[in-house]
Amino acid sequence: MSIPQSGGGPIEHPGQLADYMASGCKPADQWRIGTEHEKFGWLTANRQPLPYEGPASVRAILEGLRDRFGWTEVREAGALIGLTRDGANISLEPGGQLELSGAPLADIHATRAELDNHLAEVAAVADPLGVRFMGIGAAPEWRHDDMPVMPKGRYRLMTDYMGRVGTHGTQMMYRTCTVQVNLDFASEADMVKKLRVAIALQPVATALFASSPFFDGKPNGHRSWRSRIWRGLDDARTGMLPFVFEDGFGFERYADWVLDVPMYFVYRDGRYVDARGQSFRDFLLGKLPALPGEIPTLSDWADHLTTVFPEARIKKYMEMRGADAGSRAHLVALPAFWTGLMYDTGALDAAWDLVKGWSADTRQSLRVAASERGLKAEVDGIRMLDLARQALKLSRAGLAARGKDETRFLAPIELHAATGRTQADDLLAAWEGAWNHDLTPIYPAVSL
């Protein structure tokens, strides 16, 4: 999850809200690829989650990266909560998941190099401490009470609020991991087409990258329990956004939706002010109960944009949010998949042709079915496996058109499409077979 944002000064008129997002528009030769991934730290001595404090801990990992590899620390109320270097950030999810928010890069080769370098640095610090990190969509055995709590003010506020508005919010915060890619758009029209394709095909990504078939120590009946969790989190700020497909959609309509999402907080003077359930519309009028008489800044708006969690999200760029974390190869395949679809006009147009006839009910049903059955899902005569093969064909063509020799990075998910088996299917087969219903071997098996 995000660190405090720097967006700008006071908001003087509502049009600035849409303008803030539109300011991210840039020509195609300036488009970049930003990849974010989360991973669980675990103690090799007892397979428990990594605590924040102690000799083998989250803080020790951050301090080691800072001291050995030139990262600059980020603190909140005196606590070390992140690092920054050369346009990239390392931050903490609520349960101690370590997240790399990568720099904006020109191609997937650079993405792979960034990931390899990051994991090598992490291993250099973690291995001597008896710590490893695993790439998987949900913690397979740990219960909520097993999870540490990171010293970040926004998480304390969110934890309580999640319990009021949904059934699975704290599971998302403390016991899931994702990989996502952030991509650019050229104009409002380009953003609209990309967002529509991104939302409609997000179930394909959920199916292809499914890796969370276990929870609380047993199979959970889903290929992606992480995706299931998101459906029980908070309907006001999640989902497939049917209004995106309506005539006239653009930055202003998206801003209107975000304005109606209840607030979590306002960041002031290094602390998070509790604004849970309050209205950003009231904030614009100087009537926010948490800060009476104050009007928001664009930095406040940028913060509020980070508290909405649809399957694809707009800030000054677009985030694809539907995939489970996975193996090292999968962490690179996700940006490759979406770059191929989004950064070539022919591929994007063909992808829109593929999905434009679907109803909101079909899109939502695909989302549900993807989490439950992965590539074996079928909705309204649409077979997920066929859809994945079509989307991958378009992505491969889009990557080939870029002329950067990036198609190789699709290999792990093209194998899934060829066999109909995902990471989740392989993990379930191991549990039924060689692991003999024991999840102990899963920790080294999915470690990065």
Residue 273: strand pairing partners? 266
User: Residue 9: what pLDDT?
Assistant: 86
User: Residue 4: what pLDDT?
Assistant: 63
Determine how β-strand 88-92 pairs with β-strand 98-101: antiparallel
Q: Please check whether residue 14 lies inside any domain of the structure.
A: no
Model confidence pLDDT, tens digit, residues 276-307: 999 999 999 999 999 999 999 999 999 999 99
How large is the average pLDDT for residues 16-21? 98
How large is the average pLDDT for residues 195-213? 98
Q: Please check whether residue 426 lies inside any domain of the structure.
A: yes
User: Residue 160: what pLDDT?
Assistant: 78
* Per-residue buried b or exposed e for 288-308, using 16+ beta carbons within 10 Å of the residue's own CB: bebbeebebbbbbbbbbbbbb
pLDDT at 166 over 80: no
How large is the average pLDDT for residues 317-328? 98
Cα–Cα distance, 34 to 110 (Å, whole number): 10
Task: Report the alpha-carbon angle 408-117-214, nearest 5.
Answer: 70
User: Residue 3: what pLDDT?
Assistant: 57
Count of structural domains within the chain: 1
Q: Please check whether residue 283 lies inside any domain of the structure.
A: no
Cα–Cα distance, 124 to 68 (Å, whole number): 9
User: Residue 203: what pLDDT?
Assistant: 98
Question: Nearest to residue 356, comparing CAs of 250, 245, 248, 205?
Answer: 245
Q: Please check whether residue 214 lies inside any domain of the structure.
A: yes
Q: Please check whether residue 400 lies inside any domain of the structure.
A: yes
Model confidence pLDDT, tens digit, residues 29-66: 999 999 999 999 999 999 999 999 999 999 999 999 99
pTM of the model: 0.96
Cα–Cα distance, 250 to 289 (Å, whole number): 30
User: Residue 162: what pLDDT?
Assistant: 83
Percent of the chain with pLDDT over 90: 93
Question: Nearest to residue 148, comparing CAs of 1, 42, 307, 273?
Answer: 42
Q: Hey, what's the torsion of the CAs at 60, 61, 64, 68, to 10 degrees? A: 180
Question: For the chain, what is the mean pLDDT?
Answer: 96
CATH classification of the domain holding 256: 3.30.590.20
User: Residue 398: what pLDDT?
Assistant: 98
pLDDT at 329 over 80: yes
Question: Nearest to residue 202, comparing CAs of 326, 63, 327, 367?
Answer: 367
Q: Please check whether residue 285 lies inside any domain of the structure.
A: no
Question: Nearest to residue 411, comparing CAs of 332, 312, 308?
Answer: 332
Domain that holds residue 236: 25-261+308-445
Residues in the chain: 448
Model confidence pLDDT, tens digit, residues 346-383: 999 999 999 999 999 999 999 999 999 999 999 999 99
CA atoms within a 13 Å half-sphere pointing along the CA-CB vector of 68: 14
Tell me the pLDDT band of 5, cut-offs 50, 70 and 90: low
How large is the average pLDDT for residues 239-260? 98
Residue type, 413: I
Q: Please check whether residue 220 lies inside any domain of the structure.
A: yes
Q: Please check whether residue 241 lies inside any domain of the structure.
A: yes
Cα–Cα distance, 425 to 209 (Å, whole number): 11
Q: Pull the structure tokens for residue 312.
A: 């694809």
